Amino acid sequence: MNRTPRPFEQVYSQTTRWAAIGCVGWGLVASSAGCSAWPKQKIVPDSVATCRQLSCDAVAAAERGETDEACKLLEHAVAASPRDIDARRQYSEALWKQGEREEAAIQMQAAVQLDAQHGPTVVRCGEMLLGLGFADRALAKAEEAIALDPTLAGAWELRGRVYRHRGELDQALADMHQALRYSPNNGNVLQLTAELQYQTGHAQRCLTTLHHLFEAAPPGEEPREALWLAGMAYGSVGRPEEAVTNLYAASQKGESPPELLYQLALAQNNAGQATEATATVRQALALNGEHQGSKVLLAQLEGAGVPGVDTPIRR
């Protein structure tokens, strides 16, 4: 798998922490400094040059959609230069996308060991651990990252996600507010904050947060989950027409899950749109004939007199 390095790849500074390959891929950001900005240049070992070439080839393969090939190239890159942090992080992300999540977390932990002072890498390691269900270990990573950089929004977001996973919603919400302090237009954090506000019974605050999210999104590109949640929140504050508008908009973004259609039917019924509600709930049952809420609502709409039951978003 050894390749002859290109001429411009033969010379690199040994003092820079990031790989100077000029490639951006797998969620990583390379150094923006060019070779001309370095005061001294030294010939790097063949293993390092090979690693960087393989990493570039992997990015190109990923851009072509050849994810298996990209993963193999990055495996060889790490083998060629085990202490190359960028290659290790890229390999971890490639494994994660391939579904090999446990190995991905192991590789990201190795990257943390290579540079324990890099907060974003510590955060990403924690995110992977949380994704694998290791909440306590993820919490430790979040706190490590906060200690390294208290202004790192991703660290506060990670800790908030951990607390939410553990059911500690008030603490989770406090951490999301801290994340927004340092990254006020982060769509993911805004969505999570709004969900927590809704879960803790603050529907009006939830709507305020969602309006901020909608303002930050390009027109027509509002996330489905945000529109869905807005519909639920409007229903909670007694504004059924706005609930219908937002839930209907959410239902138009791709194939709708039965639960979303059920919530739309409930809102339509509450807004006095019984005919539309009946059609919508039948759509939900066509997708899932055993959806209990839809069965109850349809019975009510057809005159059985069974009260509908409002439920939160299920994922």
pLDDT of the chain, 315 residues: tens digit per residue: 443 333 323 322 332 333 333 343 444 333 333 444 445 555 667 778 888 887 887 778 778 888 888 888 887 888 888 888 888 898 899 999 999 999 999 999 999 999 999 999 999 999 999 999 999 999 999 999 999 999 999 999 999 999 999 999 999 999 999 999 999 999 999 999 999 999 999 999 999 999 999 998 888 899 999 999 999 999 999 999 999 999 999 999 999 999 999 999 999 999 999 999 999 999 999 999 999 999 999 999 988 444 444 444 444
Q: Where in the chain are all domains bearing CATH 1.25.40.10?
A: 1-115, 213-315
| Contact in structure between 279 and 288 (CB atoms under 8 Å) | no
Alpha carbons 177 and 224: distance in angstroms, whole number: 22
Q: What are 207-212's contacts with CB under 8 Å, separation 24+?
A: 207/233, 207/234, 207/237, 212/184, 212/185
Note the pLDDT of residue 269: 96
Please report the DSSP string for 73-103 in residue order: HHHHHHHH-TT-HHHHHHHHHHHHHTT-HHH
Question: To which CATH superfamily is domain 213-315 assigned?
Answer: Tetratricopeptide repeat domain (1.25.40.10)
Note the pLDDT of residue 303: 83
Token pair of 71 as six digits: 């993963």
CATH fold for the domain made of 1-115: 1.25.40
Return the H-helix or E-strand segment holding 144: helix 135-148
111-161 residue pLDDT tens: 999 999 999 999 999 999 999 999 999 999 999 999 999 999 999 999 999
The model's pTM: 0.77
